[in-house]
């Protein structure tokens, strides 16, 4: 998967042998630093090839009511 659209705060599905969901902490060159969501594991670095799916973090903009 391409990492161009993935930003810190987004959720990704990682499959490095055992699939799990993780939150992106930071982008590195060709890799992502992620923190697993449902496990009590420390942040880890994953390759782009291990990213199976991606969900954007909701970025809402404030709009004044009419």
Give the domains, in start order, of the chain with CATH numbers: 11-55 (2.30.30)
Q: Find out whether 34 and 22 touch, Cβ atoms under 8 Å.
A: yes
15-54, pLDDT tens digit by residue? Answer: 988 889 999 999 888 889 999 987 667 888 898 888 898 8
The confidence band for 3, taking pLDDT boundaries of 50, 70 and 90, is confident
Higher pLDDT, 22 or 2: 22
Q: Residue 21: how many CB atoms within 10 A of its CB? A: 15
Q: b or e along 46-65 (b: 16 or more beta carbons within 10 Å of the residue's beta carbon)?
A: beeebbeebeeeeeeeeeee
Predicted local distance difference test score (pLDDT) of residue 43:
84
pTM above 0.95, yes or no: no
């Amino acid at each position: 998967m391409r990492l161009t659209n993935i930003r810190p705060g987004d959720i990704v599905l990682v499959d490095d042998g055992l699939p799990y969901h993780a939150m992106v902490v930071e982008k590195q060159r060709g890799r992502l630093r992620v923190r697993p969501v449902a496990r009590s594991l420390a942040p880890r670095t994953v390759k782009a090839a291990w990213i199976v799916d991606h969900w954007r973090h909701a970025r809402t903009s404030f709009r004044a009511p009419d």
